[in-house]
A = this chain, B = another copy of it.
Amino acid sequence: MVTESFKKNLKEKYGVSFHNEQLLENAFTHSSYANENPGTTNYEKLEFLGDAVLELAVSDYLYRHFPKLHEGELTRLRSNVVRTEGFSKFAIECGFPDQINLGKGEEKSGARSRKTLLEDVFEAFNGALFLDSGMPAVQHFLHLTVYPMIAEGDFDDSRDYKTELQERLQVNGPVDIKYEVIEQDETKPMFTVQLFVNGSAKTTGKGRNKKTAEQQAASQELKNIK
Contact = CB atoms under 8 A, between A and B. Distances in A.
A48 B60 contact: no
Q: Is the interface of A mostly helix, strand, loop or mixed?
A: helix
A51 to B, nearest CB: 8
Contact of A49 (B52, B63, B135): B63
A201 interface: no
A45 B131 CA distance: 27
Nearest to A135: B135
A119 interface: no
B45 A52 contact: no
A152 to B, nearest CB: 22
Interface in A99-140: 131, 135
A59 interface: yes
Interface string A43-69: 011011101110110111001000000
A71 interface: yes
A72 to B, nearest CB: 8
Contacts of A78: 48, 52
B44 A71 contact: yes
Nearest to A71: B44
Q: What are the nearest 5 A-B pairs in CB distance?
A: A44-B71, A52-B59, A56-B56, A52-B56, A52-B55
7 contacts: A45-B63, A48-B63, A48-B75, A52-B55, A52-B56, A52-B59, A53-B56
Given A48-B78, A52-B55, A135-B135, 4 more contacts: A45-B71, A49-B59, A49-B63, A56-B56
